[in-house]
Amino acid sequence: MPTKTLPARPSLTHLKHQAKDLKGARQAGTRESLQRIREFHPRFENASDFEIQSGTFTLSDAYLTIAREYGYASWLRLSRHVQSVTVAVADLPIHDQISDREFRLAVDMIDRGDVVGLKHHLQDHPRLIKQRMNFEGMNYFRNPSLLEFCAENPIRHGTLPPNITEVVKVILDAGGSEDQASLNSALVLVASGCVPRICGVQRQLINLLCERGALPDSALNASIGHEELDATKALIQKGAQITLPAVAALGLSQETRRFLPTASPSDRHLAFAWSVLYGHIEIARLLLAAGEDPNRFNPVGAHAHSTPLHQAAVKGNLAMVQFLVQHGADPTVQDILFKGTPAGWAEHAGHMEVANFLSSVCEP
């Protein structure tokens, strides 16, 4: 789920009220509150609705959830930000948030494709290989290394230099291959980003990073969730484990039947989300028959602020929308982030036939 954006003049009092409201909603057991806690409170990651509602959840827990929902690591850091600055640093372009001059110069060389200059710069400043930036208020890309700037994800310029593979090799040869977390993060950004694909370097970068030690499994779900299926296939070729969610996304019905009996509940949940996202009705039918709930919010990392029906609606897939409604999907459920119904999502995306159908089934 994307993080929320603070208003231009955030109020700490209002944020505290949000935390109190969340605590009350959690006590009442609303699906929306339980989903928000599951995604943003680290203690409840992968917890069931029952575990979240029955476990201890203090006001401090609610504060932490709200802070992380806005992209801050803690309530203290969020409150300091709200109280300290008029113009938020987080509102500046990413490049302007880089406070370290030498790190910023290195990023400039990456963006220009200056292989020779970057090589000499890293020799003069070897600390840059292990250094990370700290960006507050970000959905992801919160603590990137230099290597992660090579993916153009998030988009800063909309393009990559033609020799970006050689640029990456310079960073890896200078010690970047020794940082497993950075390798995996860079692979995720490459495999889930549209710019590497558009620039024709996505597979090259995936192959290079995997050959230097990045784990193909680490990026598989991200590539599927961002509909980068060519990257998904490349990761599988490099050794990523084939799972139920992967075969569901790829539309492989026979393999879905084979994986389904032994799949974990979390894999089944994710597989259902992917089957709907990619419009595979036969696979969605198999998963519903296996017990999946069409009204459950999608899992974390899979558009968790929405239900499967929202995703089918925004894609304009009338057949899938009708299938889900016929199997009990509730068209009145609002998403967590924008408070929109599936019909509203369809209308926003210009899919009026879908929007009209959903509006009609909501009528008394």
Nearest to 297 by CA among 358, 264, 342: 342
Of the CATH numbers 1.25.40.20, 1.10.3210.10, 3.40.640.10, 1.10.3720.10, which one belongs to the domain with range 245-362? 1.25.40.20
What is the distance between the alpha carbons of residues 300 and 234, in angstroms, rounded to a whole number?
A: 23
User: Band of the pLDDT at 91, cuts 50, 70, 90?
Assistant: low
Average pLDDT over the chain, rounded to whole? Answer: 92
The ranges assigned to domains in the chain are 12-91, 94-241, 245-362
User: Which has the minimum average pLDDT: 42-56, 88-102, 233-247, 317-331?
Assistant: 88-102
Which amino acid does the sequence have at 21?
D
pLDDT for residue 179 is more than 60: yes
Q: Is the predicted pLDDT of residue 14 greater than 90, yes or no?
A: no
Where residue 323 falls among pLDDT bands split at 50, 70, 90?
very high
Mean pLDDT of 156-163: 94
Over 70: is that where the pLDDT of 258 sits?
Answer: yes
Span of 133-142, 181-190, 244-253 with lowest mean pLDDT: 133-142
Q: CB–CB of 317/353 below 8 Å?
A: no
Cα angle: 291, vertex 296, 302; to 5 degrees: 105
Cα(157)–Cα(170) distance, integer angstroms:
21
Please state the pTM of the whole predicted model.
0.81
Report the 10 Å Cβ neighbour count for 273: 30
pLDDT at 5: 82
The structure tokens listed for 194 are 């549209």
- Architecture of the CATH domain 94-241: Alpha Horseshoe (1.25)
Instruction: Place 164 in a pLDDT band, splitting at 50, 70 and 90.
Output: very high
**CA nearest to 357, candidates 318, 312, 320:** 318
Put residue 85 in one of left, alpha, beta given phi > 0 → left and psi -120 to 50 → alpha: beta
How many residues in total does the chain contain?
Answer: 364
98 pLDDT band (50/70/90 cuts)? confident
What per-residue confidence (pLDDT) applies to 238? Answer: 97
Q: Indicate if the pLDDT at residue 322 is higher than 50.
A: yes
| Alpha-carbon torsion, ordered 13, 5, 273, 190, to 10 deg | -140
In the predicted structure, residue 87 carries a pLDDT above the cut 50: no
Share of the chain above pLDDT 90, in %: 77
| Distance in angstroms (rounded) separating the CA atoms of residues 165 and 235 | 17
Say yes or no to pLDDT of 90 above 70: no
Mean pLDDT of all residues in 148-156: 94
